[in-house]
Amino acid sequence: MAFGIFIDTPLLLIPFFFIIKFRKQIAKFLSKVPLPRFLLYLFASLPFMIFEENINCEAFGCNFTFFPFTIPFLLGFMLILGIIVKLIHTKRIFLVMLIFSIFGTLFEIFFGVAGAQFRALPIVWFITIFLWTMISYAFFTVVPLTILIEHRK
């Protein structure tokens, strides 16, 4: 956590609550951009990724920057997720978001920059950071998945 637990937690959780509450309105607003829906899905994830990564990534070697080095990898994850969602024609945004968050967190544990530190945590902290990482992945997928799955032009 870049700024410390007492700043980072509300800094991510409060906007996350509002993003979930107003996801359809945000998706409708973003859908005014004249792009194909799949490209809009990818581009819509960028501001959320940049915000989230500037909160969480700095603790593991990312400096506060407009475009953290992790963004291309996360966009790759979003591309794969979008393709899977299109292929299976799902309508369950929160189930997709939950599964993606779990797989993303497992990827972080086994292949991420902080994987060794993650696995060395005591069990209570491991569970806490596991849940925090899941929320982080969900944070940047809520609105893009709403655009891709639920919002019709």
With vertex at residue 43, the alpha carbon angle to CA 149 and CA 28, rounded to the nearest 5 degrees, is 50
Q: What's the pTM? A: 0.86
> Residue 32: phi, psi to the nearest 5?
-75, -15
Predicted pLDDT at 97: 95
Query: From CA 88, how far away is CA 118, in angstroms rounded?
Result: 32
CB 30 within 8 A of CB 143: yes
Please determine, for residue 11, whether its predicted confidence score (pLDDT) is greater than 90.
no
- What count of other Cβ atoms lies within 10 Å of the Cβ of residue 70? 19
Predicted pLDDT at 64: 57
Predicted pLDDT at 153: 47
Predicted pLDDT at 114: 73
Predicted pLDDT at 3: 56
Q: What is the mean pLDDT of residues 115-124?
A: 87
- What count of other Cβ atoms lies within 10 Å of the Cβ of residue 29? 11
